[in-house]
A and B are shown apart, each in its own frame.
Chain A
Amino acid sequence: QSALTQPASVSGSPGQSITISCTGTSSDVGSYNLVSWYQQHPGKVPKLMIYEVTKRPSGVSNRFSGSKSGNTASLTISGLQAEDEADYYCCSYAGYSTFRVFGGGTKLTVL
């Protein structure tokens, strides 16, 4: 049950766009459109931002979008704001034996 691979850190200036990648395998990300993304501020509880690769829960800003190509899913944040500074985690369904696997997390810094 190997974790999905995310960059340890990304950064951007206010107003810019950034993309966080999440690389898995043909057994998880590549096989199912069931990737979700979570935002976690320091000391806070994770919050669902994207589910089923591209869908946004009610209340999540449309500045957040998701996509997938092959074994890699991506989270894009446009119009970067200071409040977006947080850790971001991807997660994928991984089939009947493994079920769920998270990425290692990416720390987003807004410069």
Chain B
Amino acid sequence: EVQLVESGGGLVQPGGSLRLSCVASGFTFSNYWMSWVRQAPGKGLEWVANIKQDGSEKNYVDSVKGRFTISRDNAKSSLYLQMTSLRAEDMAAYYCVRDQAFAFDIWGHGTMVTVSS
């Protein structure tokens, strides 16, 4: 079964840091671009970042540039999102997503990040 499982979400104070992880199974992880997509409570979807198959190219939405870092470990079929200087507006469910043909075809269940003092 093709599956993405996220972890690492939780409660963090403004200005704090958090590292999200995602483990893939059921497909050859190293063959695909991967993305993080987030959704604030009651709001719409927002693409956050993506990374090329070999990690050589990384792209970010303007609002997280300089604060978030996407990375991957193909040997572990894992995707990561290091988040620093977190703000209230970063509070959201973060989805690990397979990026195929410029569409997001496989989604994880999401991990919730709460930014609050």
Q: List chain A positions with a Cβ less than 8 A from chain B.
A: 1, 3, 32, 34, 36, 38, 45-48, 51-52, 57, 89, 91, 93, 99-105
Contacts and interface: CB of A to CB of B under 8 A. Distances in A.
B50 interface: yes
Contacts, number: 56
Instruction: Report, as a range, how many residues of chain B touch the other chain.
Output: 20 to 34
Interface of B: 35, 37, 44-47, 50, 59, 61-62, 95, 101-105, 107-110
A100 B56 CA distance: 19
Contact of B45 (A51, A57, A91): A91
A99 B59 contact: yes
A105 B46 CA distance: 11
A48 B105 contact: yes
B2 to A, nearest CB: 12
B59 to A, nearest CB: 5
